[in-house]
Structure 1
């Protein structure tokens, strides 16, 4: 596909996940940095993303929001990057990509907000309990370099980002399986490039 790629983002947001994914894909893209409560709520941007949040990816006439959707979309749009398993081998890929987008993010966010699901109400909520979510992910990553098979995929971008941030800011427990997994991902050239670019954007925003 030859249509221009545009990433609408902010370096203090989940847009960092999308940028890492774009760097892994390795195709040219343009980034537009938006401000919270400012350009994110402007009329032009709200036409792209009515939520007024980032990231948003525009690829020609296609508009994609939500980080896991952006990761999956880019893996499919640019198969030459090898960031999705073959179609018949995608069970773990889909499972863990959406496990992180659903149970993991919900459990971590609620815990950070001080909300604990009453034990007798756990059947009403998709993730059950924070402890169950973290244990499930820990078991999946024990003695594995990648979450969805023997090679790096878009699911690793998404799951790895959650674990990096969560352990850095204390919202996810530091466990040996998580730390080993993150170490394996941290020094990927695309991750280092994306981090450098986002950090530069952050300094520019802070400088005013």
Structure 2
């Protein structure tokens, strides 16, 4: 096995795909074979994807005969299979390892729920004509309130690290996970002005090669506008 045997199927703007791509870049495998699918054309339900992932989801990753789906699983696999390649995403010292794993899973579980599911997907799944209604507005405002409390926790985590990385002195799996969610906040209109440490974290890590080179291609085409800016004025 090695990068000549690797193949990643991914979609632009997918947080899970971006996590896998950052991890691959950090491990020195950013130039592997990749297939970019289009969600709008149901590329994630293509025969190629379904043969590797019966859920019809991306990222889907193949390393020789080994198939790994789900972004966190791909990150953990890469660290186990290639511990001496590129960046160590998981520290060796037990206490440091525990902290990084804790923060990575904490970010994945809580931020996915409070940013993606309760705000972004909640809005997308609500018919546009109902988004002006009292029921939707009250629910969205409550979801934003919960998200603000969550962001206070991450603002504190980043401040306490004093290193520019959330999990310790070095870039780690915790950063792979956290950064993509913070980027989604900015993408959908948050200024992060109320969270200066997260804002600094976003700007500084955005210059890291693994993040800059894997930045979602269609995000570079221009900022979102109008009603798509879900967090503008709210965060």
Answer yes or no: same fold by TM over 0.5. yes
For 1:186 and 1:117, the matched residues in 2 are separated by 29
**TM norm structure 2:** 0.71
Structural mapping, 1:101-180, within 5 Å: 101-109=108-116, 110-112=118-120, 113=122, 116=139, 129-143=146-160, 144=162, 145-170=164-189, 173-174=192-193, 175-180=195-200
2:91 corresponds to 1:85 = yes
Moved over 6 A (4+): none
For 1:140 and 1:107, the matched residues in 2 are separated by 17
For 1:12 and 1:130, the matched residues in 2 are separated by 21
2:205 corresponds to 1:181 = no
Distance 1:177 1:199, change over 3 A: same
Equivalenced residue count is 193
SS class of match (1:129): helix
For 1:191 and 1:131, the matched residues in 2 are separated by 25
Matched with 2:35 is 32
Are the counterparts in 2 of residues 10 and 35 from structure 1 also a CA contact under 8 Å?
Answer: yes
Are the counterparts in 2 of residues 117 and 129 from structure 1 also a CA contact under 8 Å?
Answer: no
SS class of match (2:62): strand
Q: Which structure 2 residue ranges, 5 or more long, are not aligned? A: 124-135, 222-235
Deviation at 1:179, TM superposition (A): 0.8
In our comparison, the structure showing a higher alpha carbon Rg is 2
Are the counterparts in 1 of residues 49 and 60 from structure 2 also a CA contact under 8 Å?
Answer: no
Deviation at 1:107, TM superposition (A): 0.8
- What are the Cα deviations for residues 125-164 of structure 1, in whole angstroms up to 9, with x where unaligned? xxx9323321211111115311111111122122111112
Deviation at 1:57, TM superposition (A): 1.3
- What are the Cα deviations for residues 23-54 of structure 1, in whole angstroms up to 9, with x where unaligned? 11113411011222433212332121122121
For 1:199 and 1:107, the matched residues in 2 are separated by 25
**TM norm structure 1:** 0.79
Q: Which structure 1 residue ranges, 5 or more long, are not aligned? A: 120-127, 204-208
SS class of match (2:38): coil
- Provide the aligned C-alpha RMSD in A: 2.8
Are the counterparts in 1 of residues 44 and 57 from structure 2 also a CA contact under 8 Å?
Answer: yes
Are the counterparts in 2 of residues 108 and 171 from structure 1 also a CA contact under 8 Å?
Answer: no
